[in-house]
Amino acid sequence: MITEFLPERIDYDGSQLSGLFGYKTIRAIDDSLIAFIGAADVREELVDLEDKLNNDFIKAELMLHFILIIHGNDLWRARLWQLLLVQKAFDAVKFLCKDTNINFEKSGDDIYVVTYQDGKQENKLSVSIAAISISGKEVVHLALNVSDRGAPVKTYSLNKLGIDPVELGSKILKDFLNEYESSRGAIYKVKGIE
């Protein structure tokens, strides 16, 4: 697997959710996990049909984005890759957050910062989707709010948490790669059964 944090700003509009994103950006032909920072504004390219039918959209002033591309053509497996990536992000955010009074929750593929002003409020820290590309790849997008401005829902941001997005992105890339390589090594040594 190839991992890379792109230095240039890329504003996410949904077209980056592509099995060819790795090849187009870093010429990766292997499985890849690519991080970058940029705004988000997804309307036309929504792949979540429920969101599309409800005229929902994704918008944020600045986010830390990840595009995971795995060779395969199984949406169920893509969903499992998505959950692993979100778990690695959740663990890294909790590790890097110095404020021990912050409450985090993960529900499925969503990460929340929970506040208790005027009752319990869940503030979204992340968005994510898993899909299958026509080029035969399992593709996941995960993004975490760097800023909490511009979103159509209640959000929380890495800035408010005091977490540097480059440091966080680098940690998630490293931790995911370690898990990927460890899993790959584990399956290669297992004998087939009847």
Which residues, 6 or more positions from 122, have their beta carbon under 8 angstroms from its beta carbon?
105, 112, 113, 114, 154
Cα–Cα nearest to 61, from 142, 130, 158: 158
pLDDT, residue 194, reads: 86
pLDDT, residue 59, reads: 86
- Evaluate if residue 123 carries a pLDDT over 80: yes
Domain borders along the chain are 2-188
pLDDT, residue 56, reads: 64
- Evaluate if residue 138 carries a pLDDT over 70: yes
User: How many Å apart are CA 4 and CA 141, to the nearest integer?
Assistant: 15
pLDDT, residue 8, reads: 96
pLDDT band at 30 (very low <50, low <70, confident <90, very high): very high
Of 18-27, 36-45, 125-134, which gets the smallest average pLDDT?
Answer: 36-45
Per the prediction, the chain carries an average pLDDT of: 91
Q: What is the pLDDT of residues 63-88, one digit of tens each?
A: 999 999 999 999 999 999 999 999 99
The reply to whether CATH 3.40.50.2300 applies to domain 2-188 is no
On whether the CB atoms of residues 67 and 33 are closer than 8 A, the answer is yes
User: How many Å apart are CA 35 and CA 6, to the nearest integer?
Assistant: 6
pLDDT band at 52 (very low <50, low <70, confident <90, very high): low
Q: What is the DSSP string of 129-172?
A: EEEE-TTSEEEEEEEEESS-SS-SS-B--HHHHT--HHHHHHHH
pLDDT, residue 7, reads: 96
pLDDT, residue 165, reads: 98
Output the CA–CA distances (angstroms, integers) from residue 182 to 163, 170, 177, in the order listed: 27, 18, 8
pTM (two decimals): 0.92
